[in-house]
Structure 1
Amino acid sequence: MSQRKLPDKWQSSVRAAKAVQVAFDMDETLQYQIRREALDHGLSPSDQIRHILTLPTADKPKRPRLTVSLSPDDYVYLAERYGLQPEQQLEIKHKVMDELLSYSQQMLKP
C-alpha cells in the first residue's frame, strides 16, 4: 500500500497526536496558584504551565468551556431531577446549563 500525503489542514493534527500529555502531582497550594493565574490571564492551566516554562502556546484563543463527566447513573439522577428521561441527554445538558447560569448569576449578586 502506498503512502498518501495528508492534506495540509491535517498536518497539525498529526503533530498533536504525537504529543505526550504529562501529569504533575503537586502541592494543592501550588496547583491552586497556577489555576488562579491561568484564570486571571484567561488561559487554561495547561497554557499557564507552558507560559511559565516559556513554551509556545496557540495564538488563537480556545473556546472557553467547562467540562464534567456524567455517568449513566448521573443521567438517571439528573433526568429525575429535571422531570426528563435519561435518554434525553441534550435536554439534560440544556437544563444543567440553565442551572449553572442561574447559579453564577446568584453568586454575582452583591
Structure 2
Amino acid sequence: MVTRKPARWSGSDQALRAVQVAFDVELAVMDAIRTAAFHNNLSTSDQIRQVLDLSVSTRPKRPRLTVSLTAHDYALLAQRYGLDEGDRLAIKERVTQDLIRFAGSTRTR
C-alpha cells in the first residue's frame, strides 16, 4: 500500500532531505556566532549559513523562545503556579508571564 502525502506537505521535501550538522568548536567561536546572530536578528543556524555564504531564508520568522520541558518539569511548574499539571496551556501562559517579567527586570539594571 502506497501512502500519499497531503499536497500541503510538498514544500517540505527539500527540508526533509537536509541533514543537521553539529560543529565541535571552542567557546569563543560559539560566542562569536551567537553574538553575531543576535545583532543580525538571525538564528544561529542562519548566521552560520551567512558566514558560509549559503542562502538564508528571507521568510519572516516568528520570534519565539523554546525550551524542552519534561513531565516532571510540568509537574513542578503546575505546583508552583497552583495549576493542574495536565493544563499545559495555562502553564505555558504563566511561564510566558514570568519570562516577560524577567525581561522587564533586566531592562532596569
TM-score (norm 1): 0.90
Deviation digits for residues 64-88 of structure 1, max 9, x if unmatched? 1110000000001000100011101
* CA distance, structure 2, for counterparts of residue 18 and residue 50 of structure 1: 17
Offset of 1:61 from its aligned partner? 1.8
Match of 1:55 in 2: 54
Q: Report the equivalent of 2:32.
A: 33
Structure 2 match to 1:102: 101
Distance 2:2 2:84 in 1: 49
2:19 corresponds to 1:20 = yes
Structure 1 consecutive aligned stretches of length 4 or more whose deviation exceeds 3 Å: 1-4
Q: Percent sequence identity over matched residues?
A: 44
Give unpaired runs (5+ residues) of structure 1.
none
Q: Distance in 1 between matches of 2:48 and 2:100?
A: 29
User: Structure 2 length as normaliser, TM-score?
Assistant: 0.91
Q: What number of residue pairs does the alignment pair up?
A: 109
Structure 1 position 2, deviation (Å):
7.9
Q: Distance in 2 between matches of 1:61 and 1:22?
A: 23
